[in-house]
Amino acid sequence: MIVRPRPNWFRMLFIVRGSVLPAILPQLLITLAFALLVTAFHGYVFVWKVSLTFVPFSLIGLTLAIFLGFRNNTSYARYWEARVLWGEVLNDTRSLVRQSLTLVDSASSNAVFAHRLIAFVHALRHQLRGTNPDADLARWLSENDRARLKGTRYKPSTILLLAGEWLRDQREQGKLAPPLAQAMEVHMGHLSDALGGCERIAGTPIPFTYAVIIHRTVYLYCLLLPFGLVDSIGAMTPLVVTFIAYTFFALEALSSEIEEPFGMEPNDLPLDAMSEGIEASLLELLGERDLPPAPAPTHYVLT
């Protein structure tokens, strides 16, 4: 996620870091070079004059803008839903730790429950990003708990099972009244819902064929556009074509980037920072004061 103060209007025109310009720069240069060739030869391909007007490009451009807008809205909806789900993870883990501290008669093993919830958060992040969770799990789970996780494919759901077993043990030992245990199980269910929601987003991308259609249309539109403009605006054709291409290429690149909100791109969700924030919040509820510092962005990027 890009984290930086908003610059003034003039500096905003020249910002590169945090934009999608580096990703689309090669395509823009190719489009510019092609537009320069078309302008230099005044729309001729060998001896054949490609006679196009701006009318079809106006019609196609309007339709293309609508489809790109729809694609961006769909991608942003996935991004925002992912953010909401992680907000629910924060709220429910806080509620569970607070309830374990105030509703359970004996507080001797509350840290075990909180540590399992912290391990769940880190395991969820690693599962969504396809990374190895062993180092984080070793910090928060006992050797017996880690042995339970060996060979499991979906470690977050297994850790939720371990947390649920802690609630069961407190209820069976008479330290937690059954109605209060049921109230805590509601939050456990919400964590399971958030886990399933994140898995749904990560495992169900926007249909590939839909992306292919938009991609092909954008590139064909931008490569044919110089032939439709060269007769009317002449030497300004490369500049206008490059500006229009930047708009379409940037919208397509941005929608593709935020379509998968759990990745490591600059505009994806900062799951590392969010996981560490939840960890610090739960440890503070346990009464710990020696907390790790809040994550700081590197070159305006928070991972």
Contact 224/52 with Cβ under 8 angstroms?
yes
Give me the pLDDT at residue 167, please: 93
**How far apart are the C-alpha atoms of 298 and 74, rounded to whole Å?**
29
Residue 302 lies in a domain: no
Please indicate, yes or no, if residue 189 is contained in any of the structural domains: yes
> Residue written as tokens 């947390």?
163
Q: What average pLDDT does range 236-248 have in this prediction?
A: 92
More confident residue, 34 or 299: 34
Is 90 exceeded by the pLDDT of residue 23?
no
Contact yes or no for 121/278 (Cβ under 8 A): yes
Average confidence (pLDDT) over 110-120: 94
| Structural domain for 124, as ranges | 82-205+268-286
Per-residue pLDDT at 88 exceeds 90:
yes
Is 80 exceeded by the pLDDT of residue 271? yes
Mean of the pLDDT values across residues 263-282? Answer: 91
**What's the pLDDT at 208?**
86
Predicted pLDDT at 46: 67
Task: Tell me if 272 is assigned to some domain.
Answer: yes
Q: pLDDT value at position 47?
A: 62
The reply to whether 10 falls in a domain is no
The answer to the question of residue 29 being in a domain is no
pLDDT value at 44 more than 80 = no
The pLDDT value given to residue 90: 96
| 104 has a pLDDT exceeding 70 | yes
More confident residue, 291 or 88: 88
Once rounded to an integer, what is the mean pLDDT over residues 110-138? 95
In-domain check, residue 136 = yes
Q: Which residue has the tokens 């503070």?
A: 284
Is residue 91 assigned to a domain?
yes
pLDDT in tens, 146-181: 999 998 999 999 999 999 999 999 999 989 899 999
Residue 71 lies in a domain: no
Least confident span in 4-13, 115-124, 172-181: 4-13
pLDDT higher for 108 or 242?
242
pTM of the model: 0.89
Q: Which amino acid would we find at residue 111?
A: A
Q: What is the mean pLDDT of the chain?
A: 89
Number of folded domains that form the chain:
1
Q: How far apart are CA 243 and CA 31, in angstroms?
A: 10
